[in-house]
Amino acid sequence: MKAKMIVQDENLWNRIQSFSLDQPNITFPFSKKLAKEENWTEEFTTKAIQEYKKFIYLCCILPNGASPSKFVDKVWHLHLVYTENYWEEFCPNILKQKLHHHPSGGGICESEKHEIWFQETIKNYEEIFKEKVPKEVWFPGKDLQKKRKSWLERFKFFSGFSGIFLLNSCAENGNSISLLLYIPILFFIVTFLAKIFGNDDSDNNRKGGDGSSGGSCSGNSSVCSSSCGSSCGSGCGGCGGGGD
C-alpha cells in the first residue's frame, strides 16, 4: 500500500505556537500548576510545554498520528483537565479538529506496536522540525538508568574486591568461619541493590504502560491493528489523519 504523504501546515503551526496555555490575569496559571504538580523547574516546564505543542502538531499532520513521551503526556493530561480551554477553544479554533486522548490497552502486543509508533514519532519529529528531540523531555529515565547501572557495576566491582581481600585476610589468619559469614552477606547486598536500582520507569513503559502482559504479537489484524490516536508505552497517544 502506498504510504501517505506528510503535508505540513504552516498556518496550523503558527496558530499552535501563538496559543498560550496560561490565561491572562490568572494568579495560578497552567504553567505554574504544571510545575507544582510535577515538581518541575520553570525552565523545564517551559520546554515541556513547547514539546507538547510540537507533539500536538505532529498528531494533526501525520497520517497515523503521533505518540507522546512520558513528560509530554503529563502536559497533555493537565491540559485535558482544563476542559473549556481544550475543547471549546484549543481544538475548534486552533487545531480545527478534535484531538482525543486514548489510553493503552496494555499487553505485549500493544507494547510492541506502541514502541514502533513512538520511534516513528521521533523520526518524523526530526525530519519535520530539522532538529533532534530534547532527550530530557522525550526519553526520561534513560540517563538515570545508565547512571544507576554504572553505579551498580562499580559496587559489584567493589564487593568482589572486598571479597578477595577478606578471603586473603581469612586465609592468613586461618579464620574460615568469618569467610563463610561475609560471602553470603555481600552476595545478598549486591542482589538486593540490583533488584532495586536495576530497573526504572522506562521498563514499565515498554511493557504497555501498566506493566501488564499478554499474548505475543502474531500479526493478526484483529489483535494488532493500528488505529488513529493509538498510544505509546507511556499509556496514551494522539489522533492524526485529519481529525474526527
Is 152 found in the same domain as 52?
no
Is 122 found in the same domain as 95?
yes
Is 117 found in the same domain as 89?
yes
DSSP secondary structure letter of residue 25:
T
The answer on pLDDT for 237 being more than 80 is no
Most confident stretch, 67-76, 135-144, 168-177: 67-76
Asked if residue 4 is part of any domain, the answer here is no
C-alpha 111/C-alpha 216 separation (Å) is: 10
Asked if residue 215 is part of any domain, the answer here is no
Amino acid in the structure at residue 201: D
Is 39 found in the same domain as 66?
yes
Q: Contact 94/15 with Cβ under 8 angstroms? A: yes
Burial tier of 44 (Cβ tally within 10 Å: 0-12, 13-18, 19+): middle
Is 116 found in the same domain as 59?
yes
pLDDT in tens, 45-57: 999 999 999 999 9
Q: Contact 150/142 with Cβ under 8 angstroms? A: no
Closest CA to 100 of 234, 6, 241: 241
HSE at residue 241, side-chain half, CA atoms within 13 A, is 14
Asked if residue 93 is part of any domain, the answer here is yes
Is 112 found in the same domain as 92?
yes
Is 117 found in the same domain as 90?
yes
HSE at residue 141, side-chain half, CA atoms within 13 A, is 14
Asked if residue 192 is part of any domain, the answer here is yes
Instruction: Note the pTM of the prediction, 2 decimals.
Output: 0.62
Is 148 found in the same domain as 136?
no
Asked if residue 207 is part of any domain, the answer here is no
What is the C-alpha R_g of the chain? 24
pLDDT in tens, 3-27: 555 779 999 999 999 999 999 888 9
Asked if residue 243 is part of any domain, the answer here is no
Is 149 found in the same domain as 132?
no
Percentage with pLDDT > 70 across the chain: 55
Average per-residue pLDDT for the chain: 73
Asked if residue 213 is part of any domain, the answer here is no
Is 130 found in the same domain as 75?
yes
Percentage with pLDDT > 90 across the chain: 43
Q: Which of 92, 107, 140 is the last residue of a domain?
A: 140
Is 106 found in the same domain as 16?
yes
The answer on pLDDT for 130 being more than 60 is yes
- Which position has the higher pLDDT, 74 or 104? 74
Q: Please report which residue ranges of the chain form alpha helices under DSSP H.
A: 10-18, 30-38, 42-61, 70-81, 83-85, 108-129, 135-138, 142-173, 176-197, 201-206, 221-224
Residue 35 is predicted with a pLDDT of 97
In the numeric block, which cell numbers belong to residue 223? Answer: 489483535
Structurally, how many domains does the chain consist of? 2
Is 82 found in the same domain as 19?
yes
Asked if residue 48 is part of any domain, the answer here is yes
What is the mean pLDDT of the segment spanning 34-38?
Answer: 97
Domain of residue 27 covers 10-140
